[in-house]
Every structure is written in structure tokens, then in C-alpha cells.
Chains A and B, each alone.
Chain A
């Protein structure tokens, strides 16, 4: 006779018993199951896949077109971002390793090395230096501008300071502490992990504070840190602080993104600053309006602001446009009620 496996032993007979009552069918209460039922009920309702959705997807299937241009854009953007980030990090690491291995030879590198970027630095160190001749033309700065790699090295430096530095050091010297970027990116990655993986915005903020204390808003990744801080504040419900930061950002449709812009507009509207909110909503809706959630939120938000500012016809026009574009949208029922359809 076959011996029961360890697993089947563990499987208690009770576990095979049918479950008669769903948690979602339980009346409200304080017990674990009632709480779980209440929680699950909130997720049970999904928007019905209506005739319009059916027709749209069917049309896409028939034409074999994949309506996934946004996804492609995302994938390309992520790939490019990763490549750039990887390039910067590996350049910093390589430079650090090279500097560590070369040691004191670096200060002796000739000022007159060929104007072709930091990669030639090795040649300058390895090859016996020719007589040091300061090259007036092109200036080191002009050469720096032609080469993309050392951009971070001169972040925040003035032309005068660079020229003064060029007379003392090799013209394409990288920052004094090349591992700073690695430290900074480690801190920021930690904050993002806390925020999005562990859903702990408080800890994320603490790490961002540490980032700010160490890099004093001069870090290479400061813009990313600021956006992450805004997200953490939003998650903590600290809308005032988030709005203060967002107000300080020069947001455009193409800079930090439409999502930040619509978030700022909504927060401004929330604070009763409908004029400023309208500017953001208008900016979002000025050019092309992809059929996405941002457009949906912006249209509805602008309608609300216009209504609050007494622009009834404008609000009505926005609501009608909203219903035309998002007939099954999240605010569709409310919009229909408002315009009496």
C-alpha cells in the first residue's frame, strides 16, 4: 500500500472541506473574516467590459494592429535610461579604479594632452609626457563641451573656476570624489525601494533627507530625488508639502511629465487655487490629448475649476468633451448628472 507523503499528511481533512460562506457575503463586523470581506468587497466591483470596449478590441484584433504605442515608448525610454545610467555608473567606477591604481601619477599628467576627452588620459599617463605646453586654443572648457562624458564633473562650476583649475590640473579632471555618484544613486535607489516595494513612504523620506543632508541639493540625481520626495509626500497625504515642492518646479508637459503636472493641477484645485490649476490643466490639454487617464483627469479637473470660477459654458463644454471621449470613464456618471444628460 502506498505510504502517504509528508505533504498529504500535512493536508488536514479540514482543508478539504468545502467552504460554504464567502467572506464577501458576510455582514459588517469586527472579526478578521468580516474585515477581510469588507476589504475584498471593495475590489470586487470592476468596470464592466461594455459593448464599446468589445468593439474596440475586436477592431484591433481584426486589423492586427497592436495599440501599444505607449508601451513601446515606455520600453524604449526605460532601455535608454538604463543604458545611460549604466554608462555613467560604469564610467565613474572605471575612473575611480583607474585613479586608485594610478595613484600619485595623476597630478603629474601633462596639461597638454590631446583634446579628445577623458579616455585619452591613460595614454597621457602611460606615455612619456612631452614638454608641457599650455594650449590656448581651443580652451579646455571648449574641449569639455565637445565631450559628453565629463559633464557631471563640471556641474555647477563657473567658466573662470574651470580655467583657473585648468592651469593647475589636467584639463579633463573628473570630480574629486568619483564615488559620490555611486553613493548618491545607492541612497536614491534605497529610497525608491522603500517607497515602491516596501510601501514605506516614511522611511523613503528619511533616506531622501539623508540624501539632501549629504549632497545639499547639489547631487547629480537631485531632480530624481525631488520627484521621489513628492511621491512620498503624496503617499503620506502631506499634500501641502508636496504642492510646495511641485510649485517650485518648472514643470512643462515634456519635463517631469504629464502625470506630475496633472497632480499639481489637482492639488492646486484642492487648495482652491483654481486660476493656477487652470493654467496647468490648459497646458495639459493644449496640444494633443492621448486617450489616457491624464487627459481624463485633466478634462474633468478643468471642468470643475471652470465651474468654480463661474465659467458655466466652459465647464459644460469640458464635461461634454469628457463624455464624448470617455463615455464609460470614472467620472462619466457624475458628468452626466451635472449636465443633465
Chain B
């Protein structure tokens, strides 16, 4: 996939030796947005999330010395910000009356939206409900493999994990996902 190959960007080789935020943003923002959207799920505003991620990137850019690959560094930031965002979202939904996305999910009028689109969105919501019951390390690896369609090696590069660990996490994530999926369908019937 492109995200790992795009690591060959020349920004580390900039004359000052300090990564340039603009180049970094131009080169990696689409990939970061894709990871963020998939890690955070459908209830999160991707624009806000990307903005937050690059605010963190800007703050921590001076500390980046190139010990890790840029994509690995960016992915870790994305993972943390997405996790925080999901946590806040859960909190907000718990206390908020105006749960527009939840209401929208259930009330999207059939004559306004094609039925299959509604079903697709409901399935998407189900996927994230199941994924959210998995430990983060399994959840994220499964998302990268199945939704982002990265290879095991690419996931290892991106996450900084040992390739063997990636496969172990993936095997376990799949087993847990199937179990949770069965539990979910059992409850919904």
C-alpha cells in the first residue's frame, strides 16, 4: 500500500535537518486521514481529527529525530489521538441529549436515502461496535489488515511491531471478532 512506500519522502533530508510540517502534511495527510477515519470509526469528524493530529505533530516535530520511520511516528500519533477521540465520543454520547449521529443512524428516512446505503451504514456501525469490544492492540491490527488492506509486513513497519507479533495479534483479533460477532447477532435476534 502507498502509505508505507510514501515513507520515502525527502523531508528528513531537508537542509535544516528538521522535518517541515507543510511537506509532511502535503505528503502524509491523506494517509493519516484514512487511518484516522478507520481507527476512530464512523462517529468521528475526520477533519477535526486530522487537525488535532497535525497539531500534535507540529508540537512534537522538534523532538522527532528520525529514529523511527515517519509513517510509524505519524501512525502512533494518529492511533493515540483516535483513541482519545473515541473515548471523548463515548463520554459525550453518554451525557449528551443530542446524539445526532445515533439518531441519524436510526432515522435516516428511507425515501431520502437508498435502502442499501442505510443498511451499509448500519453494518458499518455494527462493525465498530464489535471492534470496540476488542483490546486496542487487536482491534487496530485487524483494522489495518482488513479495512486498510495492509500486508503483515506493512503493518509491522507502520506499528513498529515484530512481524510475528502482528500475525499473533491478527489471529487472536480474528478469533475475538468472530466470537463477538456471534454474541452480537445472538443479542440482536
Contact = CB atoms under 8 A, between A and B. Distances in A.
Please classify how large the interface on chain A is, using the bins under 10, 10 to 19, 20 to 34, 35 or more: 35 or more
B66 interface: no
Given A40-B127, A49-B30, A60-B51, 18 more contacts: A22-B146, A24-B147, A32-B178, A36-B174, A36-B177, A38-B123, A42-B124, A44-B147, A45-B120, A58-B25, A192-B94, A234-B103, A256-B97, A258-B98, A263-B104, A266-B107, A294-B100, A301-B109
Contacts of A57: 29, 47, 50-51, 54
Given A22-B145, A192-B94, A49 B29 contact: yes
B116 to A, nearest CB: 10
B158 interface: no
B127 A19 contact: no
A47 B30 CA distance: 11
A39 interface: yes
B120 A42 contact: yes
Given A18-B167, A19-B171, A57-B54, A270 B109 contact: yes
26 contacts: A16-B167, A19-B145, A22-B145, A24-B149, A32-B178, A42-B124, A44-B38, A46-B46, A47-B37, A57-B47, A57-B54, A58-B22, A58-B25, A61-B58, A67-B48, A68-B48, A74-B96, A78-B95, A199-B187, A231-B103, A263-B103, A266-B108, A269-B112, A270-B110, A293-B100, A330-B113
B65 interface: no
A143 interface: no
A32 B177 CA distance: 10
Interface of B: 21-22, 25-26, 29-30, 33-34, 37-38, 42, 46-48, 50-51, 54-55, 58, 92-104, 106-113, 119-120, 123-124, 126-130, 145-147, 149, 152, 164, 167-168, 170-172, 174, 177-178, 181-182, 187
Contacts of A204: none
Given A33-B178, A42-B127, A269 B111 contact: yes
Interface in A112-161: none
Contacts, number: 179
Chain B interface SS verdict (over half): helix
A175 interface: no
A49 B33 contact: yes
